[in-house]
Amino acid sequence: MSASLSLKQIFEKSQLLTTHISNPELPPLDRGLDQIEHLSQNLAPNVDGSANPIDIRAHYFLAKGGVNAQAMARHLDTVKLTSTFDLRRPVHDTDIDGYLKQEHQRVIAHTIEAGRCESSAALERSYDKDLDAAWQLATKGSAKQTSDSTSLFQSTSSSLGLDEISGIAAKFGSDTLQQLLAPIDVEQPISFDCSNHPQLLTFATIIYRFNLARLQNQPYDLMSSLTRISMDQTFNEQHPMYRFMSLITNLIQSAEKAGIAAHLGGKDDEASLNARAKMVGIAKNWLEEQYVLFLNATVQSKSSIYTGTSPAAKIKTFISALHSVKTIPNLENVNGEQPWAILFYHMRTGQNKEALDYINNNLPLFKSTPSIAEYFSAFIADLSDGSMSELTRSRIQLEYDQMSRNTAEPIDPYKFAVYKIMGRCELNKRTLPHITSSTEDWLWLQLCLVRESAASSMKSGGEYRLADLQKVLQKYGPEHFDPHRANPWNYMILLLLTLQFEQVVHQLYSSKYQIEAVHLAIGFASHRMLRTTLDTKQQESLLVVGDDGSPALNYIHLIHQYSLMFTISNPEIAFQYLLTISVLDDEASNGKRASELCRSYIEELVTHTRAYSVLLGSRTVDDKVEQGCVEEFKKLIKADDTFTRSLVVAAADKCRHEERHTDAVALYYLIGDHAAVVDILVRELGKELMQPVMRQGPGADNQWSQANIPSNSEELVKYANDVAARYRTARPGDGISQQRRTTLQSLAKLHEFRYLCIYGVAEQALELLNEVGIIPMQGDMTTIARKAEQLEDYEDTIVRCIPNLLLMTMALFSELFMISKHSGDTNKTMLVKQRSQTILKFAGLIENILSADVCIRINRFDIEMI
């Protein structure tokens, strides 16, 4: 409170300080900004923060208010006021050189960045384009594979015979095969003339016969038909292709004979495992047969040293010839013979029983291994039923291990090989140095060691299954077996022998043998030897690897892509190939879905082609139905009775939308939609009758303009006449009223009148128009008025044609008038004039439906006849 009173007292005293001044009004100071600035600059140097004496009263005053004057003074001393009023240097914004340099650098950086982005985008576009082009080339490259390229089935003729091929071609439809149907533009405009490539027609013939046999539940050896062409007429027996095709035939025939082909495409169920085990044996037997041919050829070349008739004698000669050019160390020689080599080559040629006989007849040669006869007998039994006991296998393994560890005494490599094969020893080492020097020998050894059985992992010898061997081959890849890419067949033979049929098709397709790949895929699928996928999302890959690592062929996509090349030129051939998709129906897991996809592709084919009569059938005017391919083979695609009708309706609606009215009428007529047929014909005939096809007025040349006549007009009118004759009388259930029938018949006759006008047959045209009875040609005013009133009974389609019909009629009268006038035929001239006056009166009564232009032109025609 005392502080407040003190401040109050100070304030009151300050009020009294100016009381002694007589004139309190001080004069104002009027100084300009320049003067104030000058004075401020003069005062600034006098300000010294350090020389600031503390006023005692101010200090006292501030202290009472709780302000520390000394601390405040120290803070104020830190403020530098010396440059407060100094003039600032202006900023120069006119540094042109600096600006240009900076802008130049910015432009360079921007250009570099833009170029980088453009290059990156161009690279991505180029990559996408090349990838797409490569895929398109791969999927549709079969269309470009002509007779000058290496082809599996390439030949100028076939064992089928040209007459037989022509007969099948006639079944397909001669119009298409002779290209009498002009191609049209569709979303996928693919056209390929099969007639220029006889081998393609031969393939199509085989596929047709195959589908027909399926339809009739008759057996048909598709694969033999496909392979016979190349084996008989294309390559010799020494060509790798011949061996490839021979192997396919051998495998399939053996599989069918054993009844195991249907299980080869399955998973690891018992039936599939047993089937693959038998197929491994069949593949091994084929390698052994090939080696027998090699052995016989070698022995024949050494006939001078060949003595004896027994298998052992032949093998001895072979060994002698082989070892003369190939050195194998540590051979065991007993009494001048090499027993282990002889035993091994008995096994290599598949003569296991002969090998056992050789052992039993020459036991002294095997005195170092007295149990060899027992072991080999168990080995032969194990090959047939897997009956080798664990004890015997363990004994073989023990002796094998002893040979492996015995480094003091060298072991005969053939002895080592025999023990390894008998006991399936040391499966982690699956090669035999000095023995398996060729690819065939190596693969034969692998097949000897493979056991495709669910119980194989329980054996003490360990597990080495077919899937493991397949992975080994996939790891090596085709580059290992064909580094120069000159002979792809050897690798594909290895794939066949290891039952990798999906990989065979894939490798064929990748080796520019697309046609062969497609047909072999169909052959394999027909025997149910393929793993296939129905995943429609996997459209870019021919081979799809499943979650379990097993490959599956995108068979449906492969067939669809191949069929596209026949879509326009040979749609019935495309249909036959699409039918082969249904061979998957026999498989429980794929059947239903495969049929659905097959039907969808057939729908697509019908949409993209105009060969409706071939695919969907046709119906003549006398109601005779000719069955199409879809209806004939619908059993194969599990289609019901409504499937063909739905295709016809969809195709008809599409034709109607695209204004292909002739096709639309034929399709609606096929399914008995008579109302739709009449609607289209009435509308289109009426629309064409409204088009002017006459002289544009009096004085014009006597030439009728046909510029607005559609090219299919005559065909449509002809069809309309046929249909009108069919619908002349009512039939139950056709849904057509009598008025509609009359309208169609009248329009058909009016179109005939129109054509007679165009072709200059005036008198016949007028007679036909008078027969129709819509426009009066003669009669009194009452008759003319009655005709005008009857127009209300006609449909609008006919009424809208009246103006054009009147103009054409008057034009005809004008021509006849001029002709009769120049000929001097007065009676005919008067008759024509009277009839034209009738038309003129009729036009006057129906002015409400005539335009002013039509009325003027009619009057001009009348004036022309004066």
Same domain for 450 and 431, yes or no, is: yes
Same domain for 379 and 507, yes or no, is: no
Q: Which domain holds residue 73?
A: 45-85
Q: 199 vs 160, 229, 781, CA distance in Å?
A: 11, 9, 77
Same domain for 230 and 363, yes or no, is: no
Q: What percent of the chain has pLDDT over 90?
A: 14
pLDDT band at 353 (very low <50, low <70, confident <90, very high): very high
Same domain for 276 and 254, yes or no, is: no
What are the tokens at 461? 């010898």
Q: Within a domain: residue 155?
A: yes
Same domain for 431 and 380, yes or no, is: yes
| End position of a domain, from candidates 445, 464, 483 | 464
Q: Which residues contact 347 (CB under 8 A, 6 or more apart)?
A: 355, 418, 421
Strand partners, 618: 626
**Rounded distance between C-alpha atoms, residue 709 and residue 702, angstroms:** 18
| End position of a domain, from candidates 447, 464, 481 | 464
Same domain for 239 and 301, yes or no, is: no
Q: What is the 3-state secondary structure (H, E, C) of 235-254?
A: CCCCCHHHHHHHHHHHHHHH
What are the tokens at 612? 């409706």
pLDDT of 169 strictly over 80: no
Helix (H, G, I), strand (E, B) or coil at 463: coil
Query: Within a 13 Å sphere around the CA of 66, how many CA atoms are in the beta-carbon half?
Result: 2
**Total domains present in the chain:** 4
pTM listed for this prediction = 0.67
Please give the helix or strand (H or E) that residue 544 lies within, else none. Answer: strand 543-545
Which range among 227-241, 267-281, 648-662, 841-855 has the greatest average pLDDT? Answer: 841-855
Please give the helix or strand (H or E) that residue 223 lies within, else none. Answer: helix 222-233
Look at residue 355 in the predicted model and tell me its pLDDT: 92
Convert the pLDDT of each residue in 90-136 to its tens digit: 655 667 888 888 888 889 988 888 888 888 888 878 877 777 676 66
Q: Within a domain: residue 367?
A: yes
Convert the pLDDT of each residue in 197-250 to its tens digit: 777 888 889 999 999 999 999 988 888 888 776 665 555 666 777 788 888 888
Helix (H, G, I), strand (E, B) or coil at 619: strand
**Rounded distance between C-alpha atoms, residue 57 and residue 638, angstroms:** 118
Same domain for 230 and 364, yes or no, is: no
Q: Within a domain: residue 790?
A: yes
Q: Within a domain: residue 122?
A: no
Same domain for 269 and 241, yes or no, is: no
Same domain for 309 and 414, yes or no, is: yes
Same domain for 256 and 270, yes or no, is: no
Helix (H, G, I), strand (E, B) or coil at 780: coil
pLDDT of 443 strictly over 90: yes
Same domain for 313 and 434, yes or no, is: yes
Convert the pLDDT of each residue in 688-728 to its tens digit: 888 776 544 444 444 455 444 554 566 677 777 777 777 66
Helix (H, G, I), strand (E, B) or coil at 178: coil
| End position of a domain, from candidates 608, 643, 665 | 608
**Rounded distance between C-alpha atoms, residue 673 and residue 679, angstroms:** 10
Neighbours of 304 (CB within 10 A): 7
Q: Within a domain: residue 333?
A: yes
pLDDT band at 173 (very low <50, low <70, confident <90, very high): very low
- Nearest Cα neighbor of 556 from 572, 541, 571, 573 is 541
pLDDT band at 453 (very low <50, low <70, confident <90, very high): low
259 sits in the region (left: phi over 0; alpha: psi -120 to 50; else beta) called: left
Q: Which residues contact 660 (CB under 8 A, 6 or more apart)?
A: 610
Same domain for 250 and 276, yes or no, is: no
Which range among 63-72, 134-143, 722-731, 762-771 has the greatest average pLDDT? Answer: 762-771
Q: Within a domain: residue 469?
A: no
Q: Within a domain: residue 458?
A: yes
Q: Within a domain: residue 111?
A: no
